Amino acid sequence: MKQSRVISLFLTILVLLSCISTNPVFADTTPVIKMEIDKSTVKTGDIISVSLKVENISNFAGYQVNIKYDPEMLEVIDPVPQEGEILNNKEYGSVNQSANDPEKGLLNFGKVYQYLDDYRSDGNPEETGVFGIIEFKAKKAGKTEIRFEDTETMPNGTTGTLLFDWDGNRISGYEVVQPEEIVITEEGGTSGKIEMELDKTTAKVGDIITVSLKVEDITHFAGYQVNIKYDPEMLEVIDPVPQEGEILNNKEYGSVNQSANDPEKGLLNFGKVYQYLDDYRSDGNPEETGVFGIIEFKAKKAGKTEIRFEDTETMPNGTTGTLLFDWDGNRISGYEVVQPEEIVITEEGGTSGKIEMELDKTTAKVGDIITVSLKVEDITHFAGYQVNIKYDPEMLEVIDPVPQAGEILNNKEYGSVDQSANDPEKGLLNFGKVYQYLDDYRSDGNPEETGVFGIIEFKAKKAGKTEIRFEDTETMPNGTTGTLLFDWDGNRISGYEVVQPEEIVITEEGGTSGKIEMELDKTTAKVGDIITVSLKVEDITHFAGYQVNIKYDPEMLEVIDPVPQAGEILNNKEYGSVDQSANDPEKGLLNFGKVYQYLDDYRSDGNPEETGVFGIIEFKS
């Protein structure tokens, strides 16, 4: 009966998640579940060992996890995890389950102690350690990831995880840490990378752009051939023969060189290889990292352009337009090709400046209004614009597609032509405005070059993370990242920077946002000085208590008193309090906390203390 009752409890926990309530507990460090991989760079056929680990999970007694992987890149060796250092005590029994879908790349498994009463009564909770080990076999070269992830069959997990304590309750409030990206190379292949580094990504017509070709961690590198594509209307090659770099230039080993440039097609091809490979190899000092060549381009025309490694008909079997060779004369494979950034060319003496969106808040609750101010800075002779804004219509709703007037571009004497359109299904908002009487604006000689030119409001609809972005579309394909700016001559402006706003975090209505921080009265002190640290919360809904763990260097600082002085909040005597503090001066760990005792009285008074200093600690330097 005991076993069947526990199994029933486990299944009930997995299905009826919405019925479970959780109670917050104080902890001195952040509780975490994580995957740790034994290697992040492997070859085809290698085994990747993944250790699943918890840290500071109070009374940990069981789990279920859902792991997503790419079945074309990885193969699960055994869907039943190997035991770890915790959750393996035979005295407490266990209920286990595992399932793997190798077509979808979904691995789900779990385990919970069976005799929870015995585990709890023994009083030795296993709260930190590896609880399971899974192995994957690398199948195919490329980049891939192994991730905790929610699924339809486990929709209410915490990023694909469910943790349970020794009372059978679901645990919440922990952090889920994902592992690193995995790079798989061909069996026996080489890792490392080749890249082009530009000395500038913004240039004026006539400027010289210097491109350094560089390898990093290319084993026994001894030669190369590269094919570079450029736009001959925008750029001109100064000399198709590259200048020497810091490697591949040792005269003792000789060299064979070649270069060719087709200025009509915009194809530059060149290469170099050491001639006396036996000498190079026998010296035993491979040149595996560094710049191996430098090419210069002249900017010819304003606009955006790129310089790219690219395959061609005359070099069809390259690795993205590159061939690398080692000191045995063999072709190297399995490396990464890193392309350079886009280049923005402005007219000689042309316009700089920027356009940006500023949000009035980056943390909001469902139902809140997020105000977005569109602003230009140092845009010469600014007279009009059109912008295309992308948003997630499941997360945000446009209040009015017609922007409110800002502090510039609103002079009635110059008239205006306005337009706006919103597609709430696709989440595309497009609007624009331009002064009508440009001759008058220009002749007055007072250009509006900096300031807010429009304001748009969004309503937060759904909890989660989202973004509002300037973005190009099919209907406005030639914009500068979803923007068009015009000057008082009616010409399009180029060469400015587009600044995107921060990510937005939306919480449920009534949910908690805000922050906790430490403010120092000084950041520069002399030996013997007192440094006063004020602990402060801001916009913490219904704040009633806390526990904090503070790390300091005991060789540098001394705690004056581990009991904090009272602040401006959390000090109402009518509500009582429970306080604790502890200091370990050897380890430099200071832990203290306080919570109101009579919470019913505090709540019924209806005056939550949500912002302010709640404690003060002093350190001696």
CATH code for the domain in which residue 529 is found: 2.60.40.680
pTM of the predicted model as reported, rounded to 2 decimal places: 0.35
Summarize pLDDT for 265-287 with one digit per residue, the tens. 999 999 999 999 999 999 999 99
225 and 342: one domain? yes
- Is 525 strand, coil or helix? coil
Q: What are phi and psi of 221, to 5 degrees?
A: -55, 130
Summarize pLDDT for 498-539 with one digit per residue, the tens. 999 999 999 887 555 689 999 999 888 899 999 999 999 998
Q: What would the mean pLDDT of 352-360 be, rounded to a whole number? A: 91
Position 205 scores a pLDDT of 86
User: Is a pLDDT exceeding 70 seen at residue 259?
Assistant: yes
In our burial notation (b when 16+ CB lie closer than 10 A, e otherwise), range 46-76 reads eebebbbbbbebbbbbbbbbbbbbbbebbbb
Q: What would the mean pLDDT of 581-591 be, rounded to a whole number? A: 95
CB–CB of 612/567 below 8 Å?
A: yes
Report how far residue 124's alpha carbon sits from residue 352's, in angstroms, rounded to the nearest whole number: 65
Rounded (10°) CA dihedral 483, 488, 492, 494: -80
User: Is a pLDDT exceeding 80 seen at residue 189?
Assistant: no
501: Cα separation from own chain's centroid = 14
User: Is a pLDDT exceeding 80 seen at residue 191?
Assistant: no
280: Cα separation from own chain's centroid = 43
Query: Within 10 Å of residue 330's Cβ, how many Cβ atoms?
Result: 12
Report how far residue 598's alpha carbon sits from residue 453's, in angstroms, rounded to the nearest whole number: 52
499 and 374: one domain? yes
Measure Cα distances from 421 to 385, 400, 401, 402, 418 in Å.
14, 10, 6, 8, 11
Q: Which domain holds residue 430?
A: 354-507
User: Is a pLDDT exceeding 80 seen at residue 10?
Assistant: no
Report how far residue 232's alpha carbon sits from residue 348's, in angstroms, rounded to the nearest whole number: 18
212 and 178: one domain? no
How many separate domains does the chain show?
A: 4
Q: Which of 155, 177, 145 is nearest to 57 (CA)?
A: 177
370 and 255: one domain? no
408 and 334: one domain? no
50 and 98: one domain? yes
487 and 550: one domain? no
217 and 94: one domain? no
Summarize pLDDT for 66-89 with one digit per residue, the tens. 999 999 999 999 999 999 999 999
333 and 361: one domain? no
User: Is a pLDDT exceeding 80 seen at residue 27?
Assistant: no
CB–CB of 355/406 below 8 Å?
A: no
- Residue where one domain finishes, among candidates 285, 318, 346: 346
Q: What would the mean pLDDT of 89-118 be, rounded to a whole number? A: 94
User: Is a pLDDT exceeding 50 seen at residue 5?
Assistant: no
User: Is a pLDDT exceeding 80 seen at residue 348?
Assistant: no
Report how far residue 428's alpha carbon sits from residue 536's, in angstroms, rounded to the nearest whole number: 40
Tokens representing residue 103 in the block:
């077509």
- Is 510 buried (19+), middle (13-18) or exposed (0-12) by CB count in 10 A? exposed
- Residue where one domain finishes, among candidates 476, 507, 538: 507
Summarize pLDDT for 230-247 with one digit per residue, the tens. 999 999 999 999 999 999
CB–CB of 188/332 below 8 Å?
A: no
374 and 486: one domain? yes
Residue 79 CB partners (closer than 8 Å, separation 6+): 98, 99, 100, 107, 109, 134
498 and 360: one domain? yes
CB–CB of 437/413 below 8 Å?
A: yes
- Residue where one domain finishes, among candidates 316, 346, 376: 346
Position 9 scores a pLDDT of 30
Position 40 scores a pLDDT of 79
Q: Which of 483, 444, 194, 457 is nearest to 340 (CA)?
A: 194
Q: What's the mean per-residue pLDDT of the chain?
A: 89
107 and 171: one domain? yes
Report how far residue 590's alpha carbon sits from residue 530's, in angstroms, rounded to the nearest whole number: 17
Share of the chain above pLDDT 70, in %: 93
